[in-house]
Amino acid sequence: MLNNILKTSRQVLYPVARTFSRSGNHGNVVTEAAATVGAPPATRSPLILPQDYTDCLPVSRNTARQAWIENTDAVAERKVGLIELHPDVFAAQPRVDIIQENVEWQSKYRYVSMAHTKTRAEVRGGGRKPWPQKGGGRARHGSLRSPMLKGGGVVHGPRSPTTHFYMLPFYKRVLGLTSTLSVKLAQDDLHIIDNVDIPTGDAEFLKDLIAERNWGPSVLIVDEDHMFPANICQASDDLGYVNLMPTFGLNVYSMLKHDTLVLTVAAVKHLEQRLLYQLNRNDAASKGGKFKLDQV
């Protein structure tokens, strides 16, 4: 039944739906309100977005995923459409070990250790020979700051700053993204909205929306563009557990830190396009080399 809907609406609705989703991304609040007032929401045509497999054929088409497209103009949930997700991006076999490596890399690569010990040359004092070389019966020592003695220097201790930077291989980062997106979808922690325009900048609206739709204790809202409308920025600024992010900043750590991942339709399309490009590029060997600090 779902396949029939997809087949019949593939040719007819795809261009119109794409235009609608793109143009509605940066819509003005006033125009949105006018549109809402002008036409009742129930009569708007559903947004059916089938997947176009001509460019990137998936490994297995049987594992294609579908997800509802939800509204953002009211607290009550209303499904405004249906989108088919590419299986190579959203139905990949989850590699939990690679997800863990990505989280560890994102924690470590920016960490600089400031632990600092002093050598015997830097510890204050200890210039005088503590006791004579001969005739005393004690072991010979030249300084009280020797590493062997209490209060002396430290040999091979930490010397700050020590960077823990390293770069994870390129395709581990790519697979980390596809695995995390697949895990989020499989755990039903991924929601797709048509755009990020909300009718008011009040934090209560966003809080009620999250509570009504069971979006969990923390939410990450991802859009394709890095310029977000004023209302959602104002509302999310008052809530510490709601964060906004453009697609180029999407990463494994942030996806796992937030309980729910909310993507716009434009963000889903952009993510699929970029990740499928990386998975199918014919110069993949060039990305496998050693990371250079001045590479772009």
Q: How far is the CB of 37 from another protein (least distance, A)?
A: 21
Q: How far is the CB of 240 from another protein (least distance, A)?
A: 8
Half-sphere exposure at residue 112, Cβ-oriented, CA atoms within 13 angstroms: 3
Angle made by CA atoms 26, 253, 191, in degrees to the nearest 5: 45
Q: What is the CA radius of gyration of the chain?
A: 28
Half-sphere exposure at residue 48, Cβ-oriented, CA atoms within 13 angstroms: 15
Closest to another protein by CB, 218 or 234: 234
Among the listed residues 36, 63, 246, 278, the single contact to another protein using CB under 8 A: 246
* Residue window 217-236: x/- pattern of binding to another protein, with contact defined by CB under 8 A: ---------xxxxx--xx--
Query: Phi and psi (nearest 5°) for 233?
Result: -70, -45
76 and 208 in contact (C-beta within 8 Å)? no
Closest to another protein by CB, 151 or 249: 249
Find the part of the chain contacting another protein (CB under 8 A) among 46-54, 87-95, 239-247, 286-294.
239-247
Among the listed residues 249, 257, 281, 291, the single contact to another protein using CB under 8 A: 249
Q: How far is the CB of 246 from another protein (least distance, A)?
A: 5
Could you tell me which residues come within 8 angstroms of residue 27 by beta carbon, excluding any fewer than 6 positions away?
195, 197
Q: How far is the CB of 108 from another protein (least distance, A)?
A: 20
Closest to another protein by CB, 117 or 243: 243
Please classify residue 152 by burial: count the beta carbons closer than 10 Å to its beta carbon, then call 0-12 exposed, 13-18 middle and 19+ buried. Answer: middle
Closest to another protein by CB, 29 or 74: 29
Interacting positions 19-78 with another protein (CB under 8 A): 26, 28
245 binds another protein (CB under 8 A): yes
Strand partners, 243: 220
199 and 73 in contact (C-beta within 8 Å)? yes
Kindly give the pairing relationship between strand 219-223 and strand 112-113.
Answer: unpaired
Q: How far is the CB of 257 from another protein (least distance, A)?
A: 15
201 binds another protein (CB under 8 A): yes
Whether residue 58 is preceded by a cis peptide bond, meaning omega within 30 degrees of 0, is no
Q: How far is the CB of 231 from another protein (least distance, A)?
A: 8
Among the listed residues 53, 111, 131, 248, the single contact to another protein using CB under 8 A: 248
The residue type found at 100 is Q
Q: How far is the CB of 68 from another protein (least distance, A)?
A: 25
Kindly give the pairing relationship between strand 65-70 and strand 190-193.
Answer: parallel
Binding site for another protein (CB under 8 A): 26, 28, 201, 203-204, 207, 226-230, 233-234, 237-238, 240, 244-246, 248-249
